[in-house]
């Protein structure tokens, strides 16, 4: 009886396996959005018109372009526009950010738009979120060949995440100096993003790691190995 029951149950098991196999491509497709680009907000954000006239705001993953008020900000927007405006693109969505934007890798056929922006020197690798190591290689090549923003004077070439952090800091200039200049929290000894900018200003390896990973101070990791301030973190 046991063998007969097992044999009788085989068609049911086969149907379950077949159903799972059929659903897997649908789940993969659910992570992708296709549509026509109808607007460019800046060098790393655009608006997509998808099926059903659905408008989706998309943020390019793993890269960061100069803000509009930064040097090369408008040029970065022009570069993205020249690549994708009015064209049909496929977005592989990896996340949704706090602004409700779909964050993803963008493709026109086989062209990786995120990587192309790096290759052209129109964007930085976003250290805090980057996972694709080939982007660092493309950035190094663009830097060596002085493409795009890498042709700017050093004084004008500031990573956008550092620029945004500095701008946020400037908004607190009305607060008393006793609070504005604090770089270490007095409650529990925890670190907070403050006004320190160099390894020489870091009090410990732990603080250097905090500024690199939480505050986006990429200059502390000059060789991009994930370890800041070699003197503090040998």
**Which positions are catalytic?**
59, 67, 101
Give this prediction's pTM.
0.63
Q: How far apart are CA 151 and CA 141, in angstroms?
A: 13
Quick check: is 13 in a domain? Answer: no
Quick check: is 85 in a domain? Answer: yes
Indicate which CATH number applies to the domain containing 69.
2.40.50.90
Quick check: is 1 in a domain? Answer: no
Unique residue bearing structure tokens 């009305």: 174
Unique residue bearing structure tokens 């040998």: 234
CB 130 within 8 A of CB 117: no
Average pLDDT by stretches of 10, the chain with 234 residues: 51 53 46 95 97 96 96 97 97 94 96 98 95 96 97 93 84 40 37 77 79 76 70 71
Q: How far apart are CA 83 and CA 109, in angstroms?
A: 12
pLDDT tens-digit profile of 174-215?
A: 443 333 333 333 333 467 777 787 887 888 777 877 777 777
Same domain, 148 and 186: no
Quick check: is 10 in a domain? Answer: no
pLDDT tens-digit profile of 72-99?
A: 999 999 999 999 999 999 999 999 999 9
The residue range of the domain holding 178 is 172-220
Quick check: is 190 in a domain? Answer: yes
Unique residue bearing structure tokens 């969505």: 93
- How many domains would you assign to the chain? 2
Q: How far apart are CA 37 and CA 40, in angstroms?
A: 8
């Amino acid at each position: 009886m046991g063998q007969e029951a097992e044999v009788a149950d085989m068609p049911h098991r086969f149907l379950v396996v077949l159903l799972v196999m059929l659903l897997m491509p649908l789940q993969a497709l659910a992570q992708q959005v296709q549509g026509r680009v109808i607007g460019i907000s800046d060098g790393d954000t655009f608006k997509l018109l998808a099926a059903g006239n659905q408008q989706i705001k998309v943020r390019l993953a793993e890269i960061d372009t100069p803000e509009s008020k930064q040097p090369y900000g408008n040029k970065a927007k022009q570069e993205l526009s020249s690549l994708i405006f009015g064209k049909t693109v496929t977005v592989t969505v990896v996340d949704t950010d706090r602004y409700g934007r779909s964050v993803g890798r963008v493709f026109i056929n086989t062209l990786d738009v995120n990587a192309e922006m790096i290759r052209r020197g129109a964007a930085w690798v976003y250290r805090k979120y980057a996972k694709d190591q080939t982007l660092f290689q493309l950035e190094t090549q663009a830097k060596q060949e002085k493409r795009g923003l890498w042709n700017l004077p050093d004084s004008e070439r500031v990573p956008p995440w550092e620029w945004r952090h500095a701008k946020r800091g400037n908004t607190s200039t009305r607060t008393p100096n006793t609070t504005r200049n604090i770089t270490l929290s007095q409650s529990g000894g925890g670190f907070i993003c403050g006004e320190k900018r160099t390894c020489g200003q870091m009090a410990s390896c732990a603080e250097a790691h905090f500024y690199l990973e939480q505050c986006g101070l990429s200059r502390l990791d000059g060789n991009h190995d994930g370890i800041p301030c070699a003197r503090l973190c040998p």
